[in-house]
Amino acid sequence: MTDETFREERPPLVSVIVPTYNRHLELAELLESLSRQTFRSFEVIIVNDGGAPVEPVVGLYPELDVKLVNSEQNLMHVRARNLALGLARGEWIMPCDDDDLLVPTHLERMVAESGDADFLYSDAEIVEFAADGGEPVRLPRSRRLFAYACDPEGMRKFSTYVPSGSLYRKAIHEAIGPFDPDMHHYWDWDFLLRVIGRFRVKRVAAAGVLYAFAPSSGNLSDNLADMAPYLGRLCAKHGLGDLPVKNFFLLLEEPDVKARRADSEIVWDGTPFRSRLAAARLQ
């Protein structure tokens, strides 16, 4: 076997980028889910966005290739992601929120399906977690499949792209630039619209991402008044017309969105991701 053949057979390096801010339990569970990945050629770039130190959490997972960046000020999540991007060594990028989780086969499946695509995203389960009063672990209270056909025109009305766990070539940023901080709530929708039409986009029909939802946290954006100006910017930037600001789950019941529902493989067995931080706190 020649050196050139060996290089071709080596798996690509994936850079998992994670902004975090004062969510130690959630970050520990994400790292736990990453430690269980069946695909091992990845690095993790964590940007602590002005929050309390996370070194004690990261130190519990020495087997992971983690690069930790501490920002003295709170950059907000989009700029924190861009900071991580600048440090990524991988050919592929995988964004992930610090409170979301990936099933153990997720990275392996995404890389396996990447041959004919530049940008891949998977289906997800929207999971409402509740803390267990007896031990520091999040338990699933409810779960809902989030699986929709990849419809470029439909994406201009309502985005069904889940950024956590998506996988795309780093070269995309060289062509279109970094994430746009001016989009804030809609940074991911903006990114998708900038990608569609220029690159090969693929949906992976497996719910490999557990997208954390807490009604009181603002996750999935229930603060409509705060969202409105950012949606206006998005619409103006991409010529989307006058889109309404609505509750996320009400939007899922809109006829054109319901028509895009698709079958998907449920991967997660419902078992909580008990982290090493949880174990340490129980000692």
Q: What pLDDT, on a 0 to 100 scale, did the predictor assign at position 220?
A: 43
Q: What pLDDT, on a 0 to 100 scale, did the predictor assign at position 108?
A: 98
Instruction: Spell out the domain ranges in the chain.
Output: 3-266
Q: Are 15 and 41 in contact (CB under 8 A)?
A: no
Burial class, 134, CB count within 10 angstroms (exposed 0-12 / middle 13-18 / buried 19+): exposed
Q: What pLDDT, on a 0 to 100 scale, did the predictor assign at position 136?
A: 87
Q: What pLDDT, on a 0 to 100 scale, did the predictor assign at position 219?
A: 44
Q: What pLDDT, on a 0 to 100 scale, did the predictor assign at position 135?
A: 74
The rounded mean pLDDT for the chain is 93
The fold adopted by the segment(s) 3-266 is: Spore Coat Polysaccharide Biosynthesis Protein SpsA; Chain A (3.90.550)
Listed as ranges, residues in the chain with pLDDT below 50 are: 1, 5-6, 217-221
Q: What pLDDT, on a 0 to 100 scale, did the predictor assign at position 283?
A: 64
Cα angle: 96, vertex 214, 248; to 5 degrees: 85
